[in-house]
């Protein structure tokens, strides 16, 4: 599958939106997480999770 490389505009919007979402008190923001939904892998630019739900793997 061909995947286009992100543009400067895409990168700017992604980091600006991620920074704005960091201000949300009850949520954590993650970038480029692999998500398995119904057996198919998705990798969104940003993921937003309730703070109590996530655990960081070490």
Number of folded domains in the chain? 1
Model pTM?
0.66
40 is a domain residue: yes
20 is a domain residue: no
Q: Count the neighbouring beta carbons within 10 Å of the beta carbon of residue 15.
A: 13
Q: Exposed, middle or buried by CB within 10 Å (0-12, 13-18, 19+), for 1?
A: exposed
Range of the domain at 58: 26-58
Question: What are the DSSP E strand ranges found in 1-58?
Answer: 27-31, 35-37, 40-42, 46-50
Q: Place 52 in a pLDDT band, splitting at 50, 70 and 90.
A: confident
30 is a domain residue: yes
- Supply the DSSP symbol for 32: S
9 is a domain residue: no
7 is a domain residue: no
pLDDT, tens digit, 9 for 90 and up, residues 14-35: 999 999 999 998 999 999 889 9
| Residues above pLDDT 70, as percent of the chain | 81
Give the residue, 15 or 58, on which the prediction is more confident: 15
In this predicted structure, what is the pLDDT of residue 54? 58
54 is a domain residue: yes
16 is a domain residue: no
39 is a domain residue: yes
């Amino acid at each position: 599958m061909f995947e286009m490389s992100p543009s400067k505009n895409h990168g700017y919007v992604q980091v600006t939106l991620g920074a704005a979402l960091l201000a949300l008190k009850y949520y954590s923001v993650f970038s480029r997480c692999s998500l398995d939904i119904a057996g198919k892998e998705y990798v969104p630019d940003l993921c937003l999770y309730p703070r109590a739900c996530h655990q960081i793997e070490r």
